Structure 1
Amino acid sequence: MKLVPLSAALVAAATLVACGPADANSPPQNGGAMVMDVGFSALLRAPATPFLGAEDADITIIGYMDYNCQYCKMMIPELEGLLAADPKVRILYKEWPIFGEVSENASRLALAAGYQGKYHDVHKAFMSAPSRIDSDATARRLATEAGVDMARLDTDLAQNRAAIDAVLRRNTVEASALALRGTPAFVVNGILIPGGIKQQQFETLIARIRSGQPLY
């Protein structure tokens, strides 16, 4: 698949919006999660994708998120609760900044922080911000408060800009291939959830996957 320039891809994505709950406009299925089968193995072939949870997980949740998406912020306690409750789950975060240049630069800062082992600290700081990240200065302040060495981050960002932009391009291409309409969106072992759901709904879906029960 041909990659389009990052700026063009993000302009194309600018018409997307926050998805809200997955069952907001459709009848709930499988404990509230609206699901469909999608290709999965290709989404895991991205060693730069940060993850939390078990190395030997039997359930992998891939999350497409934007730091200025209110529903993404609401998902963090649900995902953290799931990780705490289930030792065989891992979560891969896919930076998908669809809400403009500030979101795009925030994603770059988070990925650059990963070179000093601080991706998840920055991710949580950005997602926990009580209001919208309205400027690059705000994003940098939050990263500093998360314990990031900003001088090193700037060096890492400059030296690895091409690799970081490649991650964002790939995530945008994946989201397009999945026909995602906004953030958040999740893929659970190949099952697409186009929106936010509660921890209990994740747990219901995971139980069905593990038991081999029909998902529809």
Structure 2
Amino acid sequence: MKPFSKTLSALLIAGTAMVPFAGAALALDDQQKKEMGAFIREYLIANPEVMLEVQDALEKKQQEARVSQATSGIEANREAIYASASDITLGNPKGDVTVVEFFDYNCGYCKRALSDMEDILSEDKKVRFILKEFPILGPDSMAAHRVANAVRLTAPEKYPEFHRALLGGQTRATEASAIAVAGSLGISEKALRASMVQNPNDAQVRATYELANNLGITGTPFYVVGKEAVFGAVGHQELSEKIANIRACGKASC
């Protein structure tokens, strides 16, 4: 093996940091760069597991960054997270543990996670569950959430049933389907449409978007349990464990 190849092999195997290595590469002549490229290609083909290790390391680093941003954002935005007048509370309004869920009516994962919320509320009468509408999946979602806001304002006692029916439905949530669901619950379409004109939820949605940006939310569902961010539809068991942890040690992860 040539001295250059020996040096490069040692660098790769030892996992030398890329910044110093990149600086050294700038000093190479064309032939050395060509040789380096060929060697790297040969090495990666012979050791493809390296790419998986790199991918895993990248994902871990990105997740750590998301968690860090979310944790800081939760601490700085507690009022907006836990005490917004535009949110709906299910379960025990004076519960000892609060779970906040950001959701979109057209989010498939949110639909599957609906049963997680239902199970928690049926099993644990001390949990407060806050629903934070976060329409991010296009105009249909925005329109469906606009109807939902009108339901909250005109018939708040029927919102929980409306929410379960619309989110649990198999068809795409739109303005028409949301109004149809509301109508099936005896809510006046005329009253809904008047509310949608008089009390649009534009400011509410903008506030939720700003909050989501501060928390680093990129998808739904997204939960806040205590002071901890929970990304994705993690399931009934994990959410229940975090609730139990808060009671046991004051934190979602003991």
Normalised by the shorter chain, which TM-score bucket? Answer: 0.7 to 0.9
Q: Equivalent residue for 1:71? A: 109
Return the match for 1:87 from 118, 121, 125.
125
Q: How many Å separate the matches in 1 of 2:192 and 2:111? A: 24
Query: How many residues are paired up?
Result: 182
Aligned pairs for 1:25-44 (under 5 A) are 37=71, 38-39=74-75, 41-42=78-79, 43-44=81-82
Supply the distance in 2 between the matched residues of 1:120 and 1:204 (Cα, whole angstroms).
25
Q: What letter is aligned with 2:110?
A: C
Give TM-score scaled by structure 2 length.
Answer: 0.66
Which runs of no fewer than 5 residues in structure 2 stay unpaired? 1-58, 61-66
- Tell me which residue corresponds to 1:5: none
Q: Does 1:206 align with 2:254?
A: no
Counterpart of 2:206 in structure 1 is: 169
CA distance in 1, matches of 2:203, 2:172: 25
Instruction: Determine if the alignment matches structure 1 residue 126 to structure 2 residue 166.
Output: yes
Partners of 2:161 and 2:143 in 1: CA distance:
16
C-alpha separation between the residues in 2 aligned to 1:213 and 1:125?
Answer: 34
Distance 2:250 2:88 in 1: 30
Partner of 2:148: 110
Matched residues in 1 for 2:241 and 2:199: separation? Answer: 40
User: What corresponds to 1:10 in structure 2?
Assistant: none
Q: Which amino acid aligns with 1:54?
A: N
Q: Aligned residues: percent identity?
A: 30
Using the alignment, how far apart are the partners of 2:169 and 2:215 within structure 1? 29
In the aligned structure 2, how far is the partner of 1:209 from the partner of 1:81?
A: 18
Higher alpha-carbon Rg = 2
More helix by share: 2
Aligned 8 A contact 1:125 1:146 in 2: no
The question of 1:189 aligning with 2:226 is answered: yes
What is the rounded CA distance, in whole Å, between the counterparts of 2:211 and 2:96 in structure 1?
22
* Whole-angstrom CA distance in 1 between matches of 2:229 and 2:163: 22
Q: 1:213 to 1:131 in 2, by over 3 A?
A: same
Counterpart Cα distance in 1 of 2:193 and 2:172: 23
TM-score computed with the length of structure 1 as normaliser = 0.77
